[in-house]
Amino acid sequence: MNDLEIFNRLQSLIVSRQGKSTGNSYTEELFRKGHDHLLKKFGEEALEVLMASKDNDSEHVVRELADLWFHSLVVMTYHGISMSDVASELERREGISGLEEKSGRK
């Protein structure tokens, strides 16, 4: 299996749950609670990655990164952004110095 397949399958599932209200889906609940809630959850997950890394616990870092990536996909879905959109941006940056790329942003 291609590693990106899981991200595409997961985002498809997230998209299918956006706007639904069956009452039994964490993803549906995230969307129902709105944009501010999505951002709060994303921030919490990012902080949990930092704390796990600070504790130097690789297994915990992996679990927290999985949570962060999931919440990243939820935020992407909220904004109508696909994995292809992000992959295209990373491809555009390939071979460009990070310092150069950052200085060229608006």
> For residue range 35-56, what is the model confidence (pLDDT) as tens digits?
999 999 999 999 999 999 999 9
CA distance to 22, 54, 82, 85, 101, per residue, from 15 (Å): 14, 33, 10, 15, 31
- The crossing angle, in degrees rounded to 10, of helices 35-54 and 26-33 is 120
* 57 vs 1: which has the higher pLDDT: 57
pTM above 0.75, yes or no: yes
Residues in the chain, overall count: 106
